[in-house]
């Protein structure tokens, strides 16, 4: 659910939405890492000025903890990494 939301949200902001993909890695029962992959030029748009965009996404996703009890780490990476 979270990875689908982040993928659709990210596609709205980038210049190359066809290159956006999201991976969810379960670290343990209570923690997951969600990685948003985008083109190198689009990563800045997803992070935002002074990190405001990514921090807003992290705040929004942290609300999901109340529903499923898991903590999430959201990371933005360039496709070539």
Higher pLDDT, 65 or 15: 15
What does the pLDDT look like over 7-21, one tens digit per residue?
999 999 899 999 999
Q: Is the pLDDT of residue 65 over 80?
A: no
On average, the pLDDT of the chain sits at 88
Q: Is the pLDDT of residue 68 over 90?
A: no
Q: Tell me the CATH number at 55.
A: 3.30.300.20
**DSSP-assigned beta bridge partners for residue 35:** 23, 75
Domain that holds residue 55: 2-78
Count the domains in the chain: 1
Non-local CB neighbours of 14 within 8 Å, separated by 6+ positions: 20, 38, 39, 42, 45, 46
Distance CA 63, CA 49 (A): 23
Distance CA 45, CA 47 (A): 6
For residue 38, name the pLDDT band (cuts at 50, 70, 90): very high
Its pTM surpasses 0.95: no
């Amino acid at each position: 659910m979270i990875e689908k939301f982040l993928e659709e949200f990210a596609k709205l902001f980038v210049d190359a939405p066809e290159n956006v993909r999201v991976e969810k890695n379960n670290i343990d029962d209570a923690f997951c890492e969600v990685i948003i992959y985008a083109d190198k030029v689009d990563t800045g748009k997803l992070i935002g000025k002074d990190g405001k965009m990514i921090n807003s996404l992290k705040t929004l996703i942290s609300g999901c903890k109340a529903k499923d009890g898991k903590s999430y780490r959201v990371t933005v990476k360039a496709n070539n990494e």
